Amino acid sequence: MSVSQELAQFTHGLEYHDLQVDVVDKVKAIILHGLFIGLSSVHEDDAQLAAKLATSLSDDQIGSAHILATGMQAGRLNAAYANSILIHLRGQDDSFRMLTHPGCTIIPAAFAESEGRSINGKEFLTAVAAAYEVHCRLSRDTVPSAQNQGFRSSALFGIFGPAIASAKIQSLSSEQIANTLALAVSFASGNLQTSHEGTKEMTFQEGIATQNGMMASRIAGLDVNGAVECFEGPAGFLRIFTGIENGRLNGSFDNQTEFDLITITEKLGVEWRLHDVTMKIYSGAGFVQPVIDGCAALAIEHDIDPASIENIHIEMNEWETVYPSPRYPRPGWGGTDEWKNAHFAASAIVNRGYESTGRRLSYGDRSSFEELPEVQRLTKLVTVEKSDRPQYGPKISISLNDGNKHTISMTGDEFKWNFTMEKDRIQAVYPALPFDKSTAEDIIAQVENLESLDNIDTLIHLLLSR
């Protein structure tokens, strides 16, 4: 049985009662995070641009769906496109293996495909769980290799989750789901030149991946067949997009060199990779999230006066110091670029934290802002060292002029939130939501009890403008 056939069999056969309690809890956290990050971004210019484009196109023959927070409707694929951009544009969506962002493609596809189809909460949760697990299985060991091939993993792998969610919600057969994955391989895209030059394609790549994944399921639903060995074949996804040859990886976060195909499908439905999805609450790259929390924690615990600091030293995984990959690092732009760790470390110390709303991470257009002089001064005191630290697990040391030094070592698990933690931390974006706190709490309550929902449209109604 090929990789696509095994993943298809898993997806087709998965039922709500197969999901462990902690898997359901994690999926709820993921859904809530994507929804609130998207809803809090609705007033951004790019969100309005995406909504305008989506409503100007029509695919009414396959039904329509709503664009979050607006009340506007568009064809399912176009609504999913607009909602994908909405969730992704501030750089606060979720993250898996640092360089993929499954929520901004899976959640929009699942909602757009479910609306008006009388999909209940258990069916919705199951489709999202399957989509996340397939995404995580395919990308876990192969993301660095794809990046070193010059592909942007978030867009490249981002097609598979919406393809699976769409196929599951449409109740496609196992064979049709395998064909969906094969077609998705053919439609996959997204390169790193945009990141290298600092241009704006990154804003739209995931939206296109979302549409392409949904389109793959539609074509497969017409019984169009696809390559059986679409992943492992000699011209398949793994060789062409990741450069894996003869079981040798083309890149790794932890010096791993060997790749075993069986790792994609072994213990499917028993060991869930989606537990390693991390959330981003600050508008910035995933790896700066623990830098912010770690620096803020040290500043608060030891009541550090920024003027007393001699040096801030951060040990990080190599890939977190040369974004987006060692082979294609982003050119240095100077100043307090929001992609760099120094800015976030300095700001978190001075402000004893970092705002979750307001200034956004900018794809392409560099946001203009007036940085505090004290933050500018501290950025020059930050040194970053490449090390074998785990992903999202920096070691931060703040040395003071009086000889004292305060250190914190993050584990890499701090942002792998369950629903309880998500519910607490997501309150940071409440001020940017397009409705009041009571509506936010109603949405949270519905997501928390999603398995009891008779129709997902009930939740969708809460997500629209009032």
Q: What residues are paired with 397 via a beta bridge?
A: 313, 407
State the DSSP H helix or E strand holding residue 398, giving kind and residue range, or none if neither: strand 395-400
CA distances for 245 relative to 11, 12, 46, 266, 420, angstroms? 28, 30, 40, 21, 42
In whole angstroms, what is the distance from residue 119 CA to residue 173 CA?
17
The pair of three-digit structure tokens given for residue 29, joined into one six-digit string: 């956290």
Domains of the chain plus CATH, in order, are 3-280+417-462 (1.10.4100.10), 288-409 (3.30.1330.120)
Helix, coil or strand: residue 396: strand
No. of helices (H) and no. of strands (E), the chain: 19, 6
pLDDT, tens digit, for every residue of 134-189?
A: 999 999 999 999 999 999 999 999 999 999 999 999 999 999 999 999 999 999 99
pLDDT of residue 336: 43
In sequence order, what are the beta bridge partners of 399?
311, 405
- Give the whole-number percent of the chain exceeding pLDDT 70: 94
Between 335 and 214, where is the model more confident? Answer: 214
Structure token digits, residue 337: 């670029």
Quick one: which H or E segment has residue 242?
A: helix 237-242
Buried b or exposed e, range 127-164, using 16+ CB within 10 angstroms:
bbbbbbbbbbbbbbbbbbbbbbbbbbbbbbbbbbbbbb
> What is the pLDDT averaged over residues 120-124?
98
Q: Tens of pLDDT along 342-397?
A: 989 999 999 999 999 977 765 555 455 677 899 989 999 999 999 999 999 999 99
* Amino acid letter for position 257: T
- How far is residue 350's CA from residue 334's CA, in Å, rounded to a whole number? 21
| Strands, sheet with 405-409, edge to edge from the N-terminal-most edge strand | 382-387, 309-317, 395-400, 405-409
Q: What is the mean predicted confidence (pLDDT) over 426-441?
A: 96
Q: How far is CA 357 from the centre of its chain?
A: 18
pTM: 0.94
